[in-house]
Amino acid sequence: MPEFCKVVRDGRILTVTIARPDVMNALHPPANFELEKVFDDFSADPDLWVAIVTGEGERAFCAGNDLKYQASGGGRLELAPKGFGGLTARYDLVKPVIAAVNGVAMGGGFEIALACDLILAAESAVFALPEPRVGLAALAGGMHRLPRQIPLKHAMGMLLTGRRVSAREGFALGFVNEVVPQGELMAAAQRWAAEILACAPLSVRASKQCALQGLGAGSVEEAMRGRYDQLAAMLRSEDFVEGPRAFAQKRKPAWKGR
């Protein structure tokens, strides 16, 4: 059983709760390696189609790197190959991941959320990349993901000052999809997950892969000429036949994920 997180399967959905509330769900190397294994298993499991990641309690989603653990000599700095929280350097995950941000998302915690495909935020959520205030930098992807997800000047305003941004401002800036009361956060995450599950899973994965990989192309034409294995898998799938058939028969499709 995981020691630093809680994992719950509910049909096609995997919910992962970072569980170090005594340190505001900050992560140390053992927790990062544990979360990496959790998301490795999620990626490989054909029965799981969507993941939700959140933090235990109402104070924090994840306060970032556990600097007290690092400063106390709790171990040399070890970096999990798939990044902070097992997600920030996981570039090949084609299944969607939803961040349900229940409180503080600072530094690496915000970087975990930025690495997810959707961010839902409780009204109490706070986001920041405060690393420059302590002589560091957002090395788990924040410096690169944030300017790709919101307008550059707004991203630079956060990156160069380390300032805190509320859930409402995050929604206005564009990196938060929805803001809800604290008590409705997980229900909102489940609602978004259900909307994803109403779509063909291979279509969802192809859409994610094409959108993210296409960002690296120099033009729309170049992106459209790219090669995407998830798109090829979708075109070969039984679901590619089932969707139009179900539409014609005026019934809900029975997706198989193959």
Extents of the domains making up the chain:
5-197, 201-248
3-class SS at 193?
helix
Let me know if 81 is exposed, middle or buried by CB neighbors in 10 A (0-12, 13-18, 19+): exposed
Q: Which of 34, 36, 56, 111 is catalytic?
A: 111
Indicate if 36 belongs to the active site: no
Choices 3.40.640.10, 3.40.50.1820, 3.90.226.10, 3.40.920.10: CATH for 5-197: 3.90.226.10
pLDDT of residue 36: 97
Indicate if 131 belongs to the active site: yes
3-class SS at 99?
strand
pLDDT of residue 71: 76
The CATH number given to 201-248 is 1.10.12
Separation CA 42–CA 69 (nearest Å): 28
Q: Which residues of 165-240 form beta strands (DSSP E)? A: 165-166, 178-180
Let me know if 212 is exposed, middle or buried by CB neighbors in 10 A (0-12, 13-18, 19+): middle
Q: Are 114 and 147 in contact (CB under 8 A)?
A: no
Separation CA 45–CA 161 (nearest Å): 41
Q: Which of 58, 131, 178, 195 is catalytic?
A: 131
Q: Is the pTM of this model over 0.85?
A: yes
3-class SS at 81?
coil
3-class SS at 7?
strand
Let me know if 252 is exposed, middle or buried by CB neighbors in 10 A (0-12, 13-18, 19+): exposed
pLDDT of residue 257: 94
pLDDT of residue 240: 97
Q: Which residues of 123-242 form beta strands (DSSP E)? A: 126-128, 165-166, 178-180
pLDDT of residue 70: 78
Sign of dihedral through CA atoms 213, 121, 30, 37?
Answer: negative
pLDDT of residue 76: 62
Instruction: Give the DSSP letter of residue 253.
Output: -
Separation CA 5–CA 38 (nearest Å): 9
Let me know if 72 is exposed, middle or buried by CB neighbors in 10 A (0-12, 13-18, 19+): exposed
pLDDT values of the chain reduced to their tens digit, one per residue, 258 residues: 789 999 999 999 999 999 999 999 999 999 999 999 999 999 999 999 999 999 999 999 999 999 888 777 755 667 889 999 999 999 999 999 999 999 999 999 999 999 999 999 999 999 999 999 988 899 999 999 999 999 999 999 999 999 999 999 999 999 999 999 999 999 999 999 999 999 999 999 999 999 999 999 999 999 999 999 999 999 999 999 999 999 999 999 999 999
Q: How open is the CA angle 186-191-193, to the nearest 5 degrees?
A: 95
